[in-house]
Amino acid sequence: MPGFEFFGDEERKEVNEVLETGILMRYGFDGPRKGIWKSKELETAVTQVFGCNHAQLTSSGTAALTTAMAALGIGVGDEVIMPSFTFVASFEAILSVGAVPVLVDIDETLTLDPAAVKAAITSKTKCVMPVHMCGSMADMDALQQICTEHHLILLEDACQSIGGTYKGKKLGTIGHAGTFSFDFVKTITCGEGGVVMTNDKDVYTKCDAYTDHGHDHLGVDRGADLHPFIGYNFRISELHAAVGLAQIKKLDTFLSIQRKNNKLLRSYLEQVPGISFRVVPDEDGDSCSFLSWMLPTEAGTKAAIESLKEAGVFAGNFYWYANNWHYITKWDHLKNAITLNRLHDAQAAALLALQTKSFAKSDAIMSRTVSTAISLLWTEEQIKEKGEKMLAAITKVL
Ligand SMILES: *Cc1c(COP(=O)(O)O)cnc(C)c1O
């Protein structure tokens, strides 16, 4: 999964070019920066590599989601439908713009269940936010159809599936807008960073200003910029963008190694009796950053995890059902509506209602799901050894 495994001379070279000018900020200082514009260069690279018209870098993936929602006009009075299995950033971003997160079940794709999305639509629904978890994708045709039918915004959180595709289109470029995270553990990293991608010029222009205190960036210098609306500071720095620029050039290499390693490990796990794998709506588009597998029962899955731990091969495997960051069962701060500042009444009520909401369908899937993170550094020998040990440890307890 992570680009940090391939950090080296290329990153150092890009960062050093910034250090030599001493201009660490992405805007202004036109003379002293001597033509070095790493953030702009990375934005251009993102549009070319992922095939979208516009890209706006941000300081994080969470900031990218917040920015996208603000630019899409999502705010107080609006509901955003999101999955029960995701990263905490999903509801953080929704709450930060004043909207209400509506959590719904996932299906065997480990992403939004289209039927659950349909059932959750109300007169307040403004946006559907699929999260392409663990390298693979949601059923985008079904979700797009629902959004078209109900006149809803489709915002893709593709933070975990950089380089994945759906029917030939890059994940994150299919909806009205999409986001990546470039945090330290993502497929390509800036250290910290994120991006909003869109084909809508108006949405892009708003993102551009929103991430820089509302600056319109039309003045002859920063002091002459106007502020058409209130923004924030979600800027990326030139140092971070420089790292990302080196990383994006290696993306194809990362993806081909990831896919090769994933397939080889899978060939061992496929031999476990009764095992199944997540449903991937477009198999060719899986970025393969994780291999997510399911056993027939929760008890069997828990026994397999213990057995993997005993065999010393559990490291790099994730049982999200019991994980504090990724699944509804452990989000007590969310379900108790604990924030530092006061939430809007409708937001607080919606969060407290999560205490009694059933996620039976998600539970039935997540309690049986383990995701194995795919390392870029594994040798073929290591994968074979890992695969044999995992196969033996799991089979032993079934
Ligand atoms: C990492 C991640 C984010 C947020 O990214 P940060 O850059 O860490 O803020 C959002 N959504 C998902 C699904 C993620 O995995």
The pLDDT of residue 324 is: 82
- Report the chain's terminal Cα–Cα distance, integer Å: 29
Q: Which CATH class is domain 3-251?
A: alpha beta
Percent of the chain with pLDDT over 90: 96
Which residue spans of the chain are classified as CATH 3.90.1150.10?
Answer: 253-397
Percent of the chain with pLDDT over 70: 100
Q: What is the pLDDT of residues 44-63, one digit of tens each?
A: 999 999 999 999 999 999 99
Which residues' Cβ are closer than 6 Å to ligand 1?
60-62, 86-87, 89, 131, 157, 159-160, 181, 183, 194
Report the mean per-residue pLDDT for the chain: 97
User: Would you state the structure tokens that stand for residue 258, as one six-digit string?
Assistant: 């990831």
**CATH number for the segment(s) 253-397:** 3.90.1150.10
Q: What is the pLDDT of residues 306-342, one digit of tens each?
A: 999 999 999 999 999 998 889 999 999 999 999 999 9
The CB density around residue 287, as the number of other CB atoms within 10 Å, is: 27
Q: What is the mean pLDDT of residues 74-88?
A: 98
Look at ligand 1, atom 3, and give the residue with the nearest C-alpha: 61
Q: Please check the confidence at residue 76 and state whether its pLDDT lies above 70.
A: yes
Q: How far is the CA of 186 from the centre of ligand 1 (A)?
A: 8
Q: Angle, to 10 degrees, between the axis of helix 238-248 and the axis of helix 9-21? A: 150
Q: Please check the confidence at residue 373 and state whether its pLDDT lies above 70.
A: yes
The pLDDT of residue 3 is: 80
Q: Please check the confidence at residue 86 and state whether its pLDDT lies above 60.
A: yes
Q: What is the pLDDT of residues 88-100, one digit of tens each?
A: 999 999 999 999 9
d(CA 186, CA 292): 17
Q: What is the pLDDT of residues 108-138, one digit of tens each?
A: 999 999 999 999 999 999 999 999 999 999 9
Sign of the four-CA dihedral 165, 166, 171, 173: positive
The pLDDT of residue 1 is: 55
Q: Which of 391, 392, 388 is nearest to 380 (CA)?
A: 388
Query: Catalytic residue at 260?
Result: no
Look at ligand 1, atom 7, and give the residue with the nearest C-alpha: 61
Set 126, 186, 206, 335: catalytic member: 186
Q: How far is the CA of 226 from the centre of ligand 1 (A)?
A: 31
Q: Please check the confidence at residue 219 and state whether its pLDDT lies above 90.
A: no
Which residue spans of the chain are classified as CATH 3.40.640.10?
Answer: 3-251
Where are the alpha helices (H) located in the chain, listed in sequence order? 9-21, 38-50, 61-71, 89-96, 114-120, 140-150, 201-210, 238-248, 251-269, 298-310, 332-335, 345-353, 360-366, 380-397
The pLDDT of residue 325 is: 87
Question: Distance between alpha carbon 384 and the CA centroid of its chain, in Å?
Answer: 29
Q: What is the pLDDT of residues 178-207, one digit of tens each?
A: 999 999 999 999 999 999 999 999 999 999
d(CA 179, CA 194): 7
Q: Which atom of ligand 1 approaches the CA of 86 most closely?
A: 13
Query: What residue has token string 């985008």?
Result: 140
The pLDDT of residue 2 is: 74
Q: How far is the CA of 391 from the centre of ligand 1 (A)?
A: 31
